[in-house]
Chains A and B, each alone.
Chain A
Amino acid sequence: MGSLKIENIRKSFGHVDVLKGIDLEVEDGEFVIFVGPSGCGKSTLLRVIAGLEDATSGEILIDGKKVNNTPPAKRGIAMVFQTYALYPHLSVRDNMGLGLKQAGKPAEEIKERTRIASAMLSLDDYLERRPSELSGGQRQRVAIGRAIVREPQLFLFDEPLSNLDAALRVNTRLEIARLHRQLKATMIYVTHDQVEAMTLADKIVVMNKGQIEQVGSPMELYNSPQTLFVAGFIGSPQMNLIEGAKLGDATAKNVGIRPEHIQISKTSGTWKGSVIHVEHLGADTIIYLQTDFGPLTVRLFGEHQYNVDDVLYATPDAGRTYRFDDKDMIIKG
């Protein structure tokens, strides 16, 4: 009941092409995350799906029905915004009920649906308050509640956690994951934070410069990135990207190796480098090395004691290197 199909969507603002031909299919009940650097067009794509922006060309199908000319309110969607966007003059209850009231639903039904949503988000104690009397986390819960009440076919989230502090972000992330399991609804979520993407998504859509770079499950993207951009974008700390020529690899323009796929030794190894900085994170230790071919980041699990200027040898795990050609595409095999 909540599938989405996008066919060759383009969007231009004047002479600037923001979306350059997007094709995407989202299955019913999937949690799909659009991720990419700022300005990559992910929010614009979400707005086009919502109907807040018109696509310059292309088709959008929700549940198999073309919705290009359907106003946002009739598309069967609900949206949660980064800035919460609660109506400041309405109580929490009225904020949640407004959409249904506009749709002409009977008061009893509005009351019942609001009750269910507020119980789900533990907002019962705040129903009569104004948004200005709530904390940031509570406001975002109200915004999510407002979406749930509409019982949409498609939930759209536009960077919903960006305005929350770190601790609340983790909590709200868990809450959204729980809601997705509970409601079994199709959700589309935009973020620039790859941690959110990796932890929540069934399917991640990596976007760059108005185009889709790769679509896949979090582990697919992590284990087999198809392009240099995806390789560099997914994973933290970033994958080490080294020019092939410097490693004596004539066929690859760039070679990538993740920091966690490198072993360190004090005596021998493939690459020799000296320590420029060490970060102790408790569970991880991150070591920055200066080598003959440039900087190299290494992530070790657990606590390790190394000092600046120590000379270390690094060895990449066999079969964990990625090679990219001069078009930045992966070289198979």
Chain B
Amino acid sequence: MAKARTSPLRSSLVHAALIIYTVIALFPVFLTVINSFKDRASIFRNPLGLPNETSFSLIGYETVLKQGDFTLYFQNSLIVTSVSIFFVLLFGAMAAFALSEYRFRGNSLMGLYLALGIMIPIRLGTVAILQGMVATGLVNTLTALILVYTAQGLPLAVFILTEFMRTVSDDLKNAGRIDGLSEYSIFFRLVLPLVRPAMATVAVFTMIPIWNDLWFPLILAPSDATKTVTLGSQVFIGQFVTNWNAVLAALTLAILPVLALYFLFSRQLIRGITSGAVK
């Protein structure tokens, strides 16, 4: 950046603001992680203290890994999240391609209709969804969750990806048509690689609410075989006694996979967020 436009005072103020925000955002995570490595008494006596020789304890993790079937819960969460992301990206990109590429009657109305879901929360339809799942016998299956999350993620995906696909050069697609590529090849081989940053953005925005969701797993798939991690951790929260070690340990463990996925997408994410703004 040009020196003339940055004064040390201004840049230190900006950095201070960013640092404060980072601390506020990370503090609960930090608290969760340090307390998950302490014994129960230390959590209550000194919640802000780092674990030391006397307070260090893995009792929480032992409880989590022994009680309940946490490997299975993790597996469920991963399956639900990744399959949902896959379908959201696939169908979202396909709808976006149609909206951005083809001229047809009602194109913009269709775009508006598909984006409507951004404004109307899917939870409003919970009762109807539950009735539907009961009628089709999908209650207590991962399929039920995948279907709901795919529907939940699609509006935003269509909206973001349509805008991005408009930026892909028409000449490039036409060159493909002249070289004899089918519309599917143009979509998969020319357009998708070019909107990869946008896909990563959509993936992250879709993934986090799904992973953290408690509502739909509780209503649609509360059986032991289909519990997700977020729902599974709730067994340690009781009406009278809460096993804080176990809750904190389970939450800490739950951060890990989502963190890994985030790192996977984040390199593309920054480009996706900024590429619309500049240029």
Contacts and interface: CB of A to CB of B under 8 A. Distances in A.
Interface of A: 47, 50-52, 71-74, 77-79, 81-89, 98-99, 102-103, 146, 150, 158
B165 to A, nearest CB: 15
B177 A81 contact: no
8 contacts: A50-B178, A52-B177, A72-B174, A81-B171, A98-B179, A102-B181, A146-B175, A158-B171
B33 interface: no
Contact of B174 (A79, A87, A103, A146): A79
A287 to B, nearest CB: 42
A89 B181 CA distance: 15
Contact of A102 (B179, B193, B194): B179
Interface in B161-212: 169, 171-172, 174-181, 189-190, 193-194
Residue among A85, A86, A89, A146 with the most chain B CB within 10 A?
Answer: A85
Contacts of B174: 47, 50, 52, 72, 79, 81, 85
A99 B171 contact: no
A79 B171 CA distance: 10
A73 B171 contact: no
Contacts, number: 59
Interface of B: 169, 171-172, 174-181, 189-190, 193-194
A102 B189 CA distance: 13
Nearest to B176: A87
A47 B189 CA distance: 23
B180 A103 contact: yes
Given A85-B169, A87-B190, A89-B193, A79 B180 contact: no
B181 A79 contact: no
Given A83-B169, A85-B169, A73 B178 contact: yes
A83 to B, nearest CB: 5
Nearest to A152: B178
Contact of B178 (A77, A83, A84, A87): A77
A85 B179 contact: no
Contact of A72 (B177, B189, B190, B193): B177
A99 B190 contact: no
A83 B170 CA distance: 10
A49 B178 CA distance: 12
Sorted nearest first, the 7 A-B pairs with minimum C-beta distance are A73-B180, A85-B171, A102-B180, A99-B179, A81-B171, A85-B175, A85-B172
A190 to B, nearest CB: 13
A71 B177 contact: yes
Nearest to A81: B171
Nearest to B174: A52
A50 B172 CA distance: 14
B198 to A, nearest CB: 16
Nearest to A78: B178
A86 B190 CA distance: 10
A185 B172 CA distance: 24
Contacts of A47: 174
B180 A81 contact: no
Residue among A72, A82, A84, A158 with the most chain B CB within 10 A?
Answer: A72
B181 A81 contact: no
A290 B171 CA distance: 46
Contacts of A74: 180
A83 B171 contact: yes
B177 A87 contact: no
Contacts of A85: 169, 171-172, 174-175
Nearest to A77: B178
Given A87-B190, A88-B194, A89-B193, A73 B169 contact: no
Contacts of A87: 172, 175-176, 190
Given A52-B174, A81-B174, A87-B190, A99 B180 contact: yes
A142 to B, nearest CB: 11
Nearest to A90: B189
B178 A82 contact: no
Nearest to B185: A102
Given A73-B179, A102-B181, A82 B172 contact: no
